[in-house]
């Protein structure tokens, strides 16, 4: 079963929409409640004051993901650097993807962007496992400069999903700014799946691609991780 990490700024009231909860029913979920602190405040000191309140809120949220059925667990982290925390916990739990929660109702159609530094193979199999046989439609999206190769990749990938009985459409953006084209394509979809991208100067300035997509498209975004650093999974 795939595992998805759902990080939530627990003390800032961040929560998950029912649509995302439903979408993730087919996956194991680790709810990562985190609280990011200014450097003046030792994490221990914040835990002292907020720990029990955060645990209460986290237990309620995790229950929605099915802690009772054993398909979900939760962790609470106090940190100065949330990105570092996401990476560590994702690595330790061996998560295939992490979620940027957004607002959405029932999810009928996913936009799946075959971009980022993650192998297309990995994104496609993640989507196949996530959608399973639930009748959720998928639009495969690719932004590229090379139209011919792009069409070929989309066709090959859509066959793999269609073989499993998934309703697949494709959308190709040629010579357009990839992120803008992705946000435009997200209209009419309830959530976005995309590949993780290595941090660059642009992500330092504008924030992570996934968070920009989530902000612009309002809906949730699932980011498929580059699995290479997961060998350390489940180290105590």
Partner 1 sequence: MDEPSPGGTNIEGESPRVEPTVETEEATITDEAELERTLGLSGGLAIGIGTMIGAGIFVFPGLAAGRAGPAAAASFAIGAAIALLVALPASELATAMPKSGGGYYFISRGLGTLLGAVVGLSLWFGLVFAAAFYLVGFGYYAVDTLAELGVAVGGGLVIPLALLFGAGFTVLNVTGTENAAKLQNGIVALLLSILVVFLAYGGLDAAGLIGEPTAPEQFAPFGAVPVMTTAALVFTSYLGFAQVATVAGEMKDPGRNLPLAMVGSVLIVGVLYVATIFVATSAFGSEQLSRFGETAMVEVGRHYLGAAGAFAIVFGGLLATMSSANASVLSTSRAIYAVSRDALLPRGASRINLRYGTPHVALGMAGGPILVLTATGRVELLAEVASFLHLIMYGLICVALIALRRDEPEWYDPDFRVPGFPVVPALGAVASFALIGFMQPASQLVGVGVMIATAGWYYYYARDVDLKGKL
Question: How big is the site for partner 1, counted in residues (CB under 8 A)?
Answer: 29
Q: Is 45 in the site for partner 1 (CB under 8 A)?
A: yes
Contact in structure between 191 and 20 (CB atoms under 8 Å): yes
Binding mask 206-235 for partner 1 (x = CB under 8 A): ------------------------------
Of 26 and 55, nearer to partner 1 (C-beta) is: 55
Interaction of residue 81 with partner 1, rule CB under 8 A: yes
Question: CA 33, CA 12: separation in Å to the nearest integer?
Answer: 10
Q: At what angle do helices 209-217 and 178-185 cross, to 10 degrees?
A: 30
47 binds partner 1 per the rule CB under 8 A? yes
Q: Which of 49, 56, 121, 202 binds partner 1 (CB under 8 A)?
A: 49
Is residue 203 close enough to count as binding partner 1 by CB under 8 A? no
From the CA atom positions of the chain, what is the Rg in Å? Answer: 18
Under the phi-then-psi rule, with left for phi > 0, alpha for psi from -120 to 50, and beta for the rest, what region is 125?
A: alpha
Rule CB under 8 A: say whether 75 interacts with partner 1: yes
Residue in 31, 76, 118, 186 binding partner 1, rule: CB under 8 A: 76
- The answer to the question of residue 85 lying near partner 1 (CB under 8 A) is yes
Could you give the C-alpha distances from 25 to 18, 174, 180, 218, in angstroms and in order? 11, 35, 30, 21
Looking at the Cβ atoms of 33 and 150, the one nearer to partner 1 is 33
Report the distance separating Cα 176 and Cα 30, nearest Å.
36
Q: Does 41 bind partner 1 (CB under 8 A)?
A: yes
Interacting span for partner 1 (CB under 8 A) from 39-47, 128-136, 148-156, 199-207: 39-47
Query: Containing H/E element for 195?
Result: strand 191-195
Q: Which residues bind partner 1 (CB under 8 A)?
A: 37-52, 54-55, 75-81, 84-85, 88, 236
């Amino acid at each position: 079963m795939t595992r998805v990490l759902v990080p939530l700024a627990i003390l800032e009231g961040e929560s998950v929409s029912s649509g995302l909860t439903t979408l993730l029913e087919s996956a194991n979920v680790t709810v990562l409640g985190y609280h990011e602190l200014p450097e003046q405040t030792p994490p221990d000191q914040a835990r002292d004051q907020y720990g029990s309140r955060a645990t209460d809120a986290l237990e309620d949220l995790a229950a929605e993901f099915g802690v009772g059925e054993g398909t979900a667990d939760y962790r609470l982290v106090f940190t100065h650097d949330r990105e570092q925390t996401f990476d560590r916990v994702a690595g330790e739990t061996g998560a295939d993807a992490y979620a940027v929660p957004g607002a959405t109702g029932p999810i009928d159609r996913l936009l799946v962007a075959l971009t980022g530094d993650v192998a297309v193979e990995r994104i496609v199999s993640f989507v196949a496992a996530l959608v399973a046989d639930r009748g959720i439609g998928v639009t495969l999206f690719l932004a590229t400069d090379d139209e011919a190769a792009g069409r070929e990749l989309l066709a090959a990938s859509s066959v793999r999903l269609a073989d499993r009985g998934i309703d697949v459409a494709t959308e190709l953006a040629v010579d357009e700014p990839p992120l803008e084209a992705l946000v435009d394509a997200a209209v009419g979809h309830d959530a976005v799946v995309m590949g993780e991208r290595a941090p660059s100067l642009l992500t330092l300035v504008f924030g992570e691609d996934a968070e920009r997509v989530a902000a612009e498209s309002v809906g949730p975004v699932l980011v498929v991780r580059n699995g290479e650093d997961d060998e350390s999974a489940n180290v105590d």
